[in-house]
Amino acid sequence: MNAMQSTATAGIDLVTVGSGNGKPVVQPPVLGGPEHTDYFLLNDLLDDEQRALRQKVRDFMDQEVTPIINPYWERAEFPHELVPKLAQLGVMGFQIQGHGCPGMSNVTAGLVILELARGDLSISTFSGVHSALAMTSIALLGSEEQKDRFLPPMARLEKIGAFGLTEPAHGTDVVKLETTARRDGDAYVLNGHKRWIGNATFADYVIIWARGEDGHVGGYVVEKGAPGFETEVITGKTALRCVQNAQISLTDVRVPAENRLANVHTFRDTEKVLLASRYCVAWEAVGAAIAGYETALAYAKQRKQFGIPLAAFQLIQHRLSRMLADITDMLCMQYRLSQLMDEGKYSMPRVALAKMHYTERARAILADARDMLGGNGIILDYHVARHLCDIEAIDTYEGTDTVQSLIVGRDITGYNAFVPMAPVH
């Protein structure tokens, strides 16, 4: 069977191509370039360096990640083989200046994150945890000595970072964290538990957030192999299966005093990191939405029903148009937010509005794409199913849409609905 044809298997129509051994092989639709989603020509606003970097990351994801990621996702394993290749892109650290980091603008960093997420949300999450959480914690809140010591090997992905804030009993209300840090001579002794910590099972540096004896929160860089530091992988996930989320147990873990981030004084310092990370997650949602739309569009052009391409049907054109409208809305909104970030005119409510809106629309676009692919939509080979499952985690971490809406609501009304009827002071 050498020519492409349609074959029915267990009630599911597969577009297949001959493999030479008589066994049908699923052939996902051929996708186009970013011009298919850039309806308002935002690419024209980029410089040549930005366009080249975006294409470089897109090519990497298409050529190195997409062909191998599905089996890892199905086995719930992290593709460690990709780490050295990812390092060669030279993008880790995103916006961080100096210390071996690329020092991108927020616009450029956003394009990189978008393309990582368009290829695979587990890889973009790994990169975000490492760069936007762990590295950014050190870059924003560490001393110059700490930046010089930790950031260069992390920028080269020789050392992997993780970020330990969420606890088993504290997610949305993590400000109430219970992990403790007690000074003992030239070290701090940490006790407590963390949960949902990505990269933690293999990270070299884990930023643990703990409450000191003065009641204030501090950040501590726990290095791999520290006695009393134990991780247990969270299994049974239906989203971001490649990401190794873990529960961490800290039992009298001694951290050298020089590993306490020098410029953390209250929980508000932690929020600086969360704002930067939430901004990155917003870009991830855009990338996932684009992946769904591009696949649905390509599939509709290639797949025929009753001898007619799906793309010729009115209902399909309507759904594709609505997807494109949502993506154009997100891209324009996020591009402007990126400019405001570069101009220093950012705020948590503005970032929260973006994250809330994009994840909601990405979920809808991916669900629509899955439906348009029919039975093929639930098969990993077409990649939409993986993105559709993974977007559920993107919608949840860094604050659910409900949490984001309350952050925005507090800003526009003056009332703090996290604690009903409490005015903002």
Question: For residue 139, how far is the Cα from the chain centroid?
Answer: 19
Query: What local confidence, expressed as pLDDT, does residue 89 receive?
Result: 97
Is 1's pLDDT higher than 90?
no
Superfamily of segment(s) 161-267: Butyryl-CoA Dehydrogenase, subunit A, domain 2 (2.40.110.10)
Residues 117 and 298: their CA atoms lie apart, in Å, by 19
Average pLDDT over residues 189-212: 97
Helix (H) or strand (E) run with residue 342 in it: helix 314-342
**Average pLDDT of span 411-424:** 78
Q: How confident is the model at residue 74 (pLDDT cuts 50, 70, 90)?
A: very high
Residue among 61, 207, 84 at smallest CA distance from 134: 207
Mean pLDDT computed over 267-280 = 91
The average pLDDT across 273-300 equals 95
Please identify which residue in the block is written with the tokens 């949305």.
172
pLDDT at 22: 47
- Is residue 52 over pLDDT 70? yes
Give pLDDT, residue 34: 59
Share of the chain above pLDDT 70, in %: 90
Distance of CA 250 to CAs 39, 151, 207, 295, Å?
Answer: 50, 24, 13, 44
pLDDT number for residue 401: 87
Torsion angle, alpha carbons of 201, 205, 210, 212, to 10: 150
**Mean local confidence (pLDDT), 148-176:** 93
Per DSSP, the residues of 281-309 read HHHHHHHHHHHHHHHHHHHHHH-EETTEE
Residue-range domain boundaries for the chain: 1-28, 29-155, 161-267, 270-423
Q: pLDDT band for position 88 (50/70/90)? A: very high
Is residue 389 a contact partner of residue 361, using CB atoms and an 8 Å limit?
Answer: no
Nearest to 327 by CA among 280, 377, 365: 365
Question: For position 129, what pLDDT does the model report?
Answer: 97
CB 93, CB 107: distance < 8 Å = no
Of 400 and 310, more confident: 310
User: pLDDT at residue 10 above 70?
Assistant: no
Q: Which CATH superfamily hosts domain 29-155? A: Acyl-CoA dehydrogenase/oxidase, N-terminal domain (1.10.540.10)
In the predicted model, what is the mean pLDDT of residues 391-407?
Answer: 91
Give the pLDDT band (50/70/90) at residue 58.
very high
State yes or no: pLDDT of 304 exceeds 60.
yes
Dihedral of alpha carbons 296, 78, 169, 256, sign = negative
Q: Is the pLDDT of residue 425 over 70?
A: no
Asked if the model's pLDDT at residue 8 lies above 80, the reply is no
Whether the pLDDT of residue 25 is over 70: the answer is no
pLDDT at 17 over 50: no
Q: Is the pTM of this model over 0.85?
A: yes
Rounded to the nearest integer, the mean pLDDT of the chain is 90
SS3 at position 372: helix
Residue 63 DSSP symbol:
I
pLDDT of residue 358 exceeding 90: yes
Any idea what DSSP says for residue 371? H
pLDDT-based confidence at 421, cuts 50/70/90? low
In contact, 51 and 28? CB cutoff 8 Å: no
What confidence score (pLDDT) does residue 11 get?
Answer: 27
Cβ atoms of 172 and 242 closer than 8 Å: no
When pLDDT is cut at 50, 70 and 90, the band that residue 27 belongs to is low
Least confident span in 119-123, 170-174, 183-187: 170-174
For residue 376 the two structure tokens come to 């093929």
128: nearest Cα among 282, 266, 232: 282
pLDDT tens digits, 215-243: 999 999 999 999 999 999 999 999 999 99
- Identify the pLDDT of residue 5: 30
Show the tokens assigned to 291: 């992946």
pLDDT score at 12: 30
Q: How far is CA 156 from the centre of its chain?
A: 19
| C-alpha 314 chain-centroid distance | 34
Per-residue HEC secondary structure of 179-200 comes to CEEEEECCEEEEEEEEEEECCC
Beta partners for residue 208, in sequence order: 164, 220
Pick the CATH number of 270-423 from 1.10.510.10, 3.40.50.620, 1.20.140.10, 1.10.10.10: 1.20.140.10
Tokens found for residue 146: 């700490």
pLDDT tier at 39, thresholds 50, 70, 90: confident
Instruction: Please give the pLDDT value at position 320.
Output: 96
Give me the percent of the chain exceeding a pLDDT of 90. Answer: 80
pLDDT of residue 157 exceeding 90, the answer is: yes
Termini Cα distance of the chain: 72
CA distance 225 to 29: 45
